[in-house]
Structure 1
Amino acid sequence: QSLAVVQSLWALKAAQQREALQKRQAAERKALSAKLPKQDVWRKWLEREAAQGDEAAQAALRGIRYREQRNKGKQVDGIEGEELDPLRKLTLAGLDAQIDHKRQFVLYRDAQGRDKFTDTGPRIVMHDKSDDSLEAALRMASQKYGGKVDITGSSEFRERAARQAVRLGIEVVDADLQAIVQDEQQRRQRPPQLSPTAVEKSAPDAAKSLKPQDTAALPEMRAVDAALTAWQQAQTDAARTRAVQDWMHGMARVEKLGGDVAAANAQTRKALGERYAGFMREVGGLARQRDIGHDR
């Protein structure tokens, strides 16, 4: 047989197979229609296609479930957004992800097996409301939803989440949360009331040795130490700036309560080592910004 004949026969066979498949699918839909209401036919069809791995069907099915639960879900502490990608596991430090293909969600647990939150696609439902869990959920939501989130749940949770989102650089789109968003933005922009003179005067003394028990006797140093750790671990400029602001707030409290600023600064030098000079440059920069703002 010539090549043209072979190609023609192959095309005919393929067309016959497609026609047979279409007839079988039509018969299956008709059989479902005879038993179920129209909307249920579509849902059953989606469920079967989703079970076979069709990502479009999976997304459509999640959308149906989300709309069904939307009004009820507004009372649930969670984070919502426009789903941009197929549902999948995302890597989050310290959390284990388990995907439920049938129900189309991903459950995130900590190392001890405790439920933290569930990614249902259009919504992330919070189980644990701790700061660490909230930050992890917001970071994941930002990645999933293109940096924009809606926040649902109690007024207390929504305010906490909105303020945390601002600190993480995530846009909150809820109209009724914009006053809180603006307040947090302004609060983060206000440099702390730490006297630059106090920092400068303490710098020469910081090189002196400091006994461990002297540092431990300063309860305000917990906030200072936490800020230093955050600064060293920061991955973005915004995170570094927040850490410097927190350090300055902590030092301001040491000064206000009559504590030893020089001792606190010495502890800072010890903790940062070679990075101390760079850190102090950032402190000076924020202090100058505050002074400029006061002069206007």
Structure 2
Amino acid sequence: MRELLILVKRHMYIYFADKGNIVFTCLSSIIVVMLYAFFIFDTQVDSLVAAMAGTDRAQAVTFVCTWFLAGQITLIIFGATFNAMAIFIDDMKYNGSDVQIFPLSKVKIIVSYCIQAVLIALLFGIGSLTIGTLLVWWQQGYQIPASSLFAAVGVIILGTIFSAVLAMFIVTFMKTAKAFSSVQIVLNTLMGFLIGMYIPIGTLPDFMQKIIFWNPYMSMSVWLRELLAGEQFQQLFAKAPSAQQDKLAVFYGLRAESSDTLWSTSDLALFIASITVIIFAFLLVSFAKKRYTR
């Protein structure tokens, strides 16, 4: 265990030694927020007010802010875990010579990279949650319930574990940092659409919705939206019939649906956890075939 902790500490030291890792992770998040604020935010609020007669604009703004915050947290978790895995690529250049000095099994070495990615992503994810919550409170005077915030931290923890395992699995197929960077840029560009972050998921064609709802990152985003924007959603659509509320919740990505059946939070948790275990199993098989460790 001591060797594992030392290895995790070593990975994190390398990550934070390069300030560019922190800058680019934060910068990408800031760019997304600015693009959304300047080009999409007002349009989405206006369409919401126009669709619901008598809707208070301030309440619509609060809903959209909390709705967007959930997607932003998901996106930064994705970016942070993948950025953290760049260390693995650098280690591969030297055939893992720095890592092989530790008397650890291949499984523990995999876990060491995953742990450091989880810790780094937690820092950014919980940091985004904290900053976003404070901004919503400062700008809109709305305090997200404490119970929802604590539950959101739990979702972030589960989501970072999944994202770290997925990033580790993908990075094992990359031979150069340039190739990994290219893959990361493509995935990061698509991810905003794959989690319904820029526009409500309900505006997409049905076949795309069915595909996207099976994306674990979408499940994470749905869960966070339900926690962070759920109260505002209930107030905003309080006059709508129950069946209509369910449809609107799916439309805005606050609920996941498959075969006309709404998923519960337990379903979302089980789905994310199951995919994580499956990917980790494939990761062990993939890693075992590589001449990287003892």
Q: What is the TM-score of this pair, normalised by structure 2?
A: 0.26
Q: Which entry has the higher C-alpha Rg, 1 or 2? A: 1
Greater strand content: 1
Say which structure, 1 or 2, has more relative contact order (CA 8 Å, 6+ apart). 2
Output the TM-score relative to the length of structure 1. Answer: 0.26
